[in-house]
């Protein structure tokens, strides 16, 4: 919805939209043609008629994972960073984004304001550990009916906080500070991560929703940043008040 009402963000989609749709369709077509029926036959041993549902869910999960990895090669992470930063700029946090990239204040809109990064720009790190965890969780799909949802929730538990990796970078949080920040909001991050994964299971539009999720995570980060600054200002005000009070 945020993107629909803010046309200045549309060029970020148009640059990737055609390749997103073509690649997603191609991957799903290959998996559907070569893998789907054998997978249904295999799962039918454990699930009976429920094999059709779990096979569909498993196929969509695998398709989303394959497309996500392929898009890492096509620099989609750079686009996600641009979306995240542009939303923060539009929400009034130029100073925060300016810590990590050059900004052009004279530009017509937040997207055009974005200049070259001055530090490493990573939206969400995808490493060997995340891929290994995904592979290790795949057997849970063998559990009838609830297996697929369990995989989504467990994966969402890990993946949710990665959508704020850029925010943590801008705040220059240490590893310990980042872990504490996530721990205090683990339930919210799990919900966000699970919802993001569900959207990525939508056939053909999986990567489209990956891009829109970057806008959602930036809006959430903007809300957090406002709360953080209000808290800091309140603490500073209290300190100044005590400093002005006469000594007893």
Q: State percent of the chain over pLDDT 90.
A: 36
> What is the structure's pLDDT at 177?
95
Q: What is the pLDDT of residue 246?
A: 44
Q: Does 230 have pLDDT greater than 80? A: yes
Q: Mapped to the 3 state alphabet, what secondary structure does the chain carry?
A: CCCCCCHHHHHHHHHHHHHHHHHHHHHHHHHHHHHHHHHHHHHHHHHHHHHHHHHHHHHHHHHHHHHHHHHHHCCHHHHHHHHHHHHHHHCCCHHHHCCCEEECCCCCCHHHHEEEECCCCCCCCCCHHHHHHHHHHHHHHHCCCCHHHHHHHHHHHHHHHHHHHHHHHHHCCCHHHHHHHHHHCHHHHHHHHHHHHHHHCCCCCHHHHHHHHHHHHHHHHHHHHHHHHHHHHHHHHHHHHHHHCCCC
Range of the domain at 115: 7-224
Global confidence as pTM = 0.77
**Is 233 domain-assigned?**
no
53-62, 191-200, 216-225: least confidently modelled range: 53-62
Q: What is the average pLDDT value for the chain, to the nearest integer?
A: 82
Q: How many domains does the chain fold into?
A: 1
From 87, 93, 85, select the one nearest 116 (Cα to Cα).
85
The answer to the question of residue 236 being in a domain is no
- Token readout for 190 is 């799990």
Quick one: pLDDT at residue 248?
39
Asked whether residue 37 carries a pLDDT value surpassing 80, the answer given is: yes
Q: pLDDT tier at 38 (50, 70, 90 boundaries)?
A: confident
More confident residue, 217 or 158: 217
Domain-embedded: residue 2: no
Give the per-residue pLDDT at 54.
Answer: 77
Q: Is residue 229 part of a domain?
A: no
């Amino acid at each position: 919805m945020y993107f629909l009402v803010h046309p200045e963000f549309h060029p970020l989609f148009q640059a990737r939209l055609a390749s997103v749709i073509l690649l997603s369709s191609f991957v799903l077509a290959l998996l559907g043609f070569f893998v789907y029926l054998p997978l249904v036959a295999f799962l039918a041993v454990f699930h009976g008629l429920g094999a059709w549902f779990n096979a569909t869910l498993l196929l969509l999960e695998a398709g989303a994972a394959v497309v996500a990895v392929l898009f890492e090669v096509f620099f989609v992470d750079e686009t996600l960073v641009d979306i995240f930063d542009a939303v923060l700029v539009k929400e009034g946090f130029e100073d925060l984004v300016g810590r990590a990239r050059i900004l052009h204040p004279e530009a017509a809109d937040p997207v055009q304001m974005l200049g070259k990064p001055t530090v490493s720009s990573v939206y969400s790190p995808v490493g060997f550990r995340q891929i290994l965890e995904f592979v290790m969780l795949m057997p849970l799909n063998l559990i009838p009916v609830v297996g697929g949802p369990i995989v989504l929730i467990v994966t969402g538990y890990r993946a949710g906080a990665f959508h704020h990796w850029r925010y943590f970078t801008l705040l220059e949080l240490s590893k310990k500070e980042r872990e504490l920040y996530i721990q205090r909001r683990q339930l919210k991050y799990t919900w966000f991560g699970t919802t993001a994964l569900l959207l990525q299971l939508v056939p053909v539009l999986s990567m489209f929703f990956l891009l829109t999720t970057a806008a959602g995570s930036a809006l959430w980060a903007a809300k957090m940043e406002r709360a953080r600054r209000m808290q800091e200002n309140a603490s500073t005000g209290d300190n100044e008040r005590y400093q002005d009070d006469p000594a007893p």
